[in-house]
Amino acid sequence: MALFHRRGLAALALTLALTGSAHAQQKVSIDFWHGLPQPLGGLLEQVVAGFNASQAQYEIKPSFRGSYPETMVSSIAAFRAGNAPHIVQMFEVGTATMMAARGAVKPVHELLAEAGVALDTNDYLPAIRGYYSTTDGKLMSMPFNSSTSIMFYNKEAFRKAGLDPEKAPATWAELRAAAKKIKESGASACAFTSSWPTWTQIEQVGAIHNVGVASKANGFGGTDATLDLTNPLFVRHLTTLVEMAKEGTYRYGGRDGAGDALFASGECAITHASSGARARYLKEVPGGIANIGFAFLPYYSEVTTTPNNTVIGGASFWVMNAGPNKVRAREELTGIAEFFKYISRVDVASKWHIDTGYLPITKSAFEAVKATGYYDKNPGADIPITELLRGTMTANSMGFRLGNFAEIRVAIQEEMERAIQGQQTPAAALEAANKRGNEILRAFERANRS
Amino acid sequence: MHKRVIFNNRLLPYLLLLPQMMITLVFFFWPAFEAIRQSVLLQDAFGLRSEFVGFENFAHILSDPNYLTAMGVTIVFSTTVTLLAMVPALLLAVLADSGIRGASLYKTLLIWPYAVAPAVAAVLWLFMAHPSIGIIGKALNAAGIAWNYQINGGQALTLVILASAWKQISYNFLFFLAGLQSIPKSVIEAAKIDGARPVRRFFTIILPLLSPTTFFLLVVNLVYAFFDTFGVIDALTKGGPGTSTVTLIYRVYIDGNHNLNLGSSSAQSVILMVIVIALTAIQFRFIEKKVHY
């Protein structure tokens, strides 16, 4: 018995010694799941590789998990199994879902405070910081790749229609008149289209005109927010789109980014799309950069004379606990904080901005890129940034914090499509979308009651 | 008359059954039980809070007009897909079986589409039917037919039906061909001698003798149309425009996988489970009586 006991102790000591020495050599490993396909995913992994090479203590292990919704679903499933990644890239519409999951996520402001890492959050572009912060300005997730929607137009088509190719329509009245001219002159097969229907035609329209899509500052004020889609502004706008579709000057391009193809092929003369579509358009639109105009999204001069900033899209990084009641070790949290500090560095953020076309996260990165003369050589590349900085940000243009937002977007899209098909009036469509959206919001509120 | 196999060991037959039982339990019964359990719960996405709500998920889904629309779409979708996948397959099989030159080449070519994954099949159809980049879509528009499945519900449904049926034709063709080849030549020759023409021979001899195959394919195709087609729908229309191509299974997928509403999604799965059990039971109870083995 005594012999066994001694052997047992010796074995224990040996194991301890082994793990101890292994511990000293091994880096702290941090799992990072992202949802960017190639080539963007490769560029993101280069950023990670840069961080891994910059220090010896931590190693971030990136892995591609499919599209944003797929990444979200798999990280949630992993969390339920107690095996969640440390960092997950989540699209902006998942923000409210993540935020409501107290116990599943580690807010970034807490992480930074605990790790003793300081980040100058005031340097972030306000529209980006606001989207991912609480109402009292505490950062919940780490902004990374952001875009916004802008207007692209085909200069060749403008010229053929007798329009000034250097002057983009600034208001909806001007846009409609230009579209009519394009159609009548046959300058292009289709005058106006759009991608991401709810983002560019509902959410941005609300932000630009300082009208809330939902109460409680678009949901920032609490999960009991209700949608306000029946606001006259949205009725006016959907009526414009339906009328233009009837006149043959607007072509509905399909859901998500499906409409991008219509402008890329040169078929449509004007589009409202993600600023991230720039790279594709430069490559595919006949005539290339010389033929593409970039401009702010239009506004209704009858509604406002001082249009506001647009809101962002894209994704941010969330820090997750391993599983229910499984928190992270201190060194892991410090590693994550160091990584976040690294990606906010001016050189890293500027390179990411130039390589990918996503917005620079910080004002200093924007200034640094501007100083290199990049925007003079690449006309239009600064349009999304200046559009984000336009006017004064209000509660209605800060962003959206609505639970199950992806589902709400689909409901709105479906009702818009029914209106454009002529199955219901614009007012009825928005009424129906409002009702369905509110049911979704109430279900979310109920499931997340604490 | 059943053959009796004699086992000396009482335990052995159960042991041999065990792997199959395990697979059935783990991969079929467990998930089905989980679906039933989840269908009476209201949970947040992360499973941090969960509340027993009884049949509320069912009541909510059954009173949702969009769910009832999806049910209608599913009925139209699955009957048309089954018909369009079986009738041309039978026709092709009869032709390929009729001793034409190069029959084996036709057979091989006809089986190919089955190897195409649903998402890839959908992309192929997308490239044909897209109103501005698709060959057929462009041709239709040039011919003055306003073809845009992204905004016309009827056209969208037609497109997903065609793509889904096309995918299944090869499978049906294969089974029909095997069925045709197992019909004794002597029976057909006897009918020929009696002066029966090809059409008459087909309806009075071939079709009845083919009925076990047809019945099997009917069940398989309905199950396919119900459960295996969401890949095609997701890649082609994502359920749109409006909700005109949302079928029951696509809705289960969207509510569970995109909207993370597990309670509602599970309740829908349970409803689907009941529908398919009922359908299969009806088929075996009534249609099988007309099948000659």
Query: Is the confidence at residue A138, as pLDDT, over 60?
Result: yes
A3 has a pLDDT exceeding 60: no
What is the pLDDT, as a whole number, of residue A18? Answer: 47
Which pLDDT value is given to residue A2?
Answer: 45
Name every chain B residue with its beta carbon within 8 A of the beta carbon of A265: 132-133
Q: What is the pLDDT of residue A20?
A: 46
Determine contact: B257 vs chain A, CB below 8 A.
yes
**Cβ under 8 Å to A: B residues 161-180:** none
Mean of pLDDT over chain A: 90
pLDDT at B288: 72
Collect all residues of chain A within an 8 Å Cβ-Cβ radius of residue B46.
76, 79-80, 101, 103-104, 324
Residues 226 to 245 of B: which have CB under 8 A from any A CB?
238-243
Identify the CATH number of the domain defined by range A27-146+313-374. 3.40.190.10
The tokens for A234 are: 């949205």
Cβ <8 Å between B151 and A421: yes
Q: In terms of CA atoms, which chain A residue is nearest residue B256?
A: A73
pLDDT tens for each residue of chain B, 293 residues long: 455 667 777 888 889 999 999 999 999 999 999 999 999 998 888 888 888 989 999 999 999 988 999 999 999 999 999 999 999 999 999 888 887 788 888 888 888 888 888 888 888 999 999 887 889 998 998 888 888 888 888 999 999 999 999 989 999 999 999 999 988 889 888 988 998 888 888 888 889 899 889 988 998 998 899 888 888 999 898 887 888 999 999 999 988 888 888 899 999 999 998 988 888 888 888 777 777 66
What pLDDT was estimated at residue A180?
96
Distances (CA, A) of A53 to A60, A342, A356: 10, 11, 21
Q: Are residues A265 and B243, on separate chains, in Cβ contact within 8 Å?
A: no
- Is residue A12 over pLDDT 60? no
- Cβ of B151 within 8 Å of Cβ of A252? The answer is yes
CA neighbor of A142 nearest in space, from A355, A342, A384, A366: A342
Same fold, A27-146+313-374 and A147-311+402-447: yes
What are the tens digits of pLDDT across the range A191-231?
A: 999 999 999 999 999 999 999 999 999 999 889 999 999 99
Put simply, the answer to whether B238 touches A255 (Cβ < 8 Å) is: yes
Q: With an 8 Å Cβ cutoff, is B211 touching chain A?
A: no
Residue A434 reports pLDDT greater than 90: yes
Signed CA dihedral, B86, B91, B96, B97: sign only:
positive
Is residue A357 packed enough to be buried (19+ CB in 10 Å), middle (13-18) or exposed (0-12)?
buried
Contact yes or no for B291/B215 (Cβ under 8 A): yes
Chain A residues closer than 8 Å to B66 by CB: 436
User: Is B138's Cβ below 8 Å from some Cβ in A?
Assistant: no
Using alpha carbons, select from B161, B134, B162 the residue that is nearest to residue B148: B134
**Closest Cα in chain A, distance from residue B191 (Å):** 56
One-letter amino acid at B60 equals H
Q: Give the domain ranges of chain B.
A: 65-290
What is the C-alpha separation between B81 and A243, in angstroms, rounded? 36
Is it the case that residue A444 has pLDDT exceeding 60? yes
Query: Which of B46, B238, B261 is opposite residue A76, by nearest beta carbon?
Result: B46
Residue A7's pLDDT band, with cuts at 50, 70 and 90, is: low
Query: Which whole-number Å values give the CA distances from B92 to A285, B109, B171, in the listed order?
Result: 44, 12, 12
What share of chain A has pLDDT > 90, as a percent? 71
Q: Find residues 55-74 of chain B whose CB sits inside 8 Å of chain A.
A: 66
A62 pLDDT higher than 80:
yes
Q: Which of A253, A258, A404 minimises the CB distance to B259?
A: A404
Q: Do A100 and B151 touch (CB under 8 A)?
A: no
Q: Which residues of A touch B261 (CB under 8 A)?
A: 404, 407, 443
pLDDT of residue A362 exceeding 80, the answer is: yes
Architecture of domain A147-311+402-447: 3-Layer(aba) Sandwich (3.40)
The residue of chain A nearest to residue B259, with distances taken between CA atoms, is A407
Task: Render pLDDT for A14-42 as a digit per residue (tens, 0 to 9).
Answer: 444 444 444 445 889 999 999 988 888 99
Radius of gyration over every alpha carbon of chain B, rounded to an integer in angstroms: 23
**Minimum distance, in Å, between the CA of residue B165 and any CA atom of chain A:** 24
Q: Are A404 and A441 in contact (CB under 8 A)?
A: yes
The CATH class for the domain spanning B65-290 reads mainly alpha
Q: How far apart are CA A301 and CA A335, in angstroms?
A: 50
Amino acid at site B178 = A
Look at A252 and B242 and tell me if their CB atoms are within 8 Å.
no
Q: What is the 3-state secondary structure (H, E, C) of B72-121?
A: HHHHHHHHHHHHHHHHHHHHHHHHHHCCCCCHHHHHHHHHHHHHCCHHHH
- Per-position DSSP letters for A385-412, written without gaps between them: HHHHTSS---TTSS----TTHHHHHHHH
How far off is chain B from A192, nearest CA to CA, in Å? 14
Query: Any CB–CB contact under 8 A between B43 and chain A?
Result: yes
pLDDT of residue B150: 84
State the pLDDT at residue A108: 95
- Say how far residue A173 (Cα) sits from the centre of its chain: 29
Average pLDDT over residues A403-407: 89
**What are the pLDDT digits (tens) for A222-271?**
899 999 999 999 999 999 999 999 999 999 988 888 889 899 999 999 99
Residue A370: exposed, middle, or buried by beta-carbon count in 10 A (0-12, 13-18, 19+)? middle
3-state secondary structure (DSSP) of residue A447: helix
Domain boundaries in chain A? 27-146+313-374, 147-311+402-447
The per-residue pLDDT for range A64-115, each reduced to its tens digit, is 998 888 898 899 989 988 999 999 999 988 898 898 888 899 999 999 999 9
* Residue of A417, A424, A441 to mutate for B, most B C-beta atoms under 10 A: A417
